[in-house]
Structure 1
């Protein structure tokens, strides 16, 4: 997949509108009952970067980033300010934030993930684009350090242990992360004069599967 590891300017993504999108097929029966099904195991996030533009200089930064990505051609990183940590947003990340696996004495690679819980239900979201310098991890509560015990792959979200964690060992991690996205348009319709008059451009951004 064509992807650039560059992040969309975070000062421009701050204030953008967007969030997770689900796809649910609903069939209403003659009785009035419904049958619901979804072809998507995972949500897909959609954002509008235009609403966070605050100056003509911002438009220039947007144009430069858009052109460097060739419109929809190349994906890029996006900071979703409403959801970018393994911990609660107001708290720093920690080694016990997310359980990402249970050791079996053989497996050395574990995928970062974030689990969302409500009531008795939960959803595990794969994290492909952790942020450099923010990852911490532990095995059975004992912190493991990059280079000494484990290697962090920020392009895939994999933690590669030098030695496989023992059977039943709890592997946990904390991290910040970006969303892999692309522009959902090949055309920017921008006007500096219109922008100064209060006209807000629409710049759709869509999450991509990695």
Structure 2
């Protein structure tokens, strides 16, 4: 299998449903309490991009995209309509949005992450499919315009020689990103409900690590 750096058509993802899921083992103890254990380090997202009434042209676009991915065989990019950038919906992306590391004067590569949290806990999710051209970087609060490159396939920011952050320097980043997914079915069923329009009742997608 392979991962195709293609994004599912954006206009067809805006009516999707879904979001993150986790897997937790829960054991009820004899004293009435519970023992809980997290089986997955990170959440895994599922989506369904079916059900909405679409034109025949849109139905064909889904069919063509599905065939090009070989059904479940190859992964691809998907833009979550709610969670697709380093800030909350409606806020502008800035170079100070997310902490991605602290310099030591030697390390040049820093993977992008996004933090979710409140006063009780913080979870940091790896961002492995950033959108090319969307990255903004700041070192110790000062935005950098050059001296670094982003690998949009892996989500790793690499500083060039002479630009490596000094020891103790805080590195922060702002960015947009896609979710790596695959189809969670090997069958697409198209229903024509009206003249030159129809629907695909279900198109399940599941997050993968490419």
Q: TM-score range by the shorter chain?
A: over 0.9
Unaligned runs of 5+ in 1: none
| Residues 57, 143 of structure 1: alpha-carbon distance in 2 compared, 3 angstrom cutoff | same
- Provide the rounded CA distance (Å) in 1 between the counterparts of 2:176 and 2:15: 18
Matched with 2:181 is: 181
Look up the SS of the partner of 1:36 in the other structure.
strand
Aligned residues: 208
CA contact (8 A) 2:127 2:177 kept: yes
Equivalence for 1:110: 110
Structure 2: gaps spanning 5 or more residues: none
Q: Which moved more, 1:26-35 or 1:104-113?
A: 26-35
Give the deviation of 1:150 after TM superposition.
0.3
Q: Give the match for residue 60 of structure 1.
A: 60
- Which residue is equivalent to 1:83? 83
| Mapped partners of 2:148, 2:199: distance in 1 | 50
Is the 2:26–2:37 contact (alpha carbons within 8 Å) kept by the matching residues of 1?
Answer: yes
CA RMSD of aligned residues (A): 1.8
User: What is residue 155 of structure 1 aligned with on the other side?
Assistant: 153
Aligned to 1:204: 204
Q: Which region of structure 1 is more displaced relative to structure 2, 1-10 or 25-34?
A: 25-34
The answer to whether the 8 Å contact 1:23/1:39 transfers is yes
Q: Deviations over 1:133-180 (max 9, x none)?
A: 1111011111112xx310111111110001321000000000000000
Kindly state the Cα deviation for residue 120 of structure 1 after the two structures are TM-superposed.
2.4
Distance 1:137 1:197 in 2: 45
Cα distance in 2 for partners of 1:176, 1:183 equals 22
Which residue number corresponds to residue 131 of structure 1? Answer: 131
Shift of the 21–119 alpha-carbon distance from structure 1 to 2, 3 Å rule, reads same
1:124 offset after TM fit, Å?
Answer: 0.1
Report the equivalent of 2:48: 48
Deviation at 1:89, TM superposition (A): 1.4
Rounded to whole Å, the distance in 1 between the matches of 2:30 and 2:196 is 54
TM-aligned CA deviation for residue 194 of structure 1: 7.7
Determine the structure 1 residue equivalent to 2:27: 27
Q: Give the alignment's TM-score, normalised by structure 2.
A: 0.93
Q: Match of 1:11, SS?
A: helix
TM-score by length of 1: 0.93
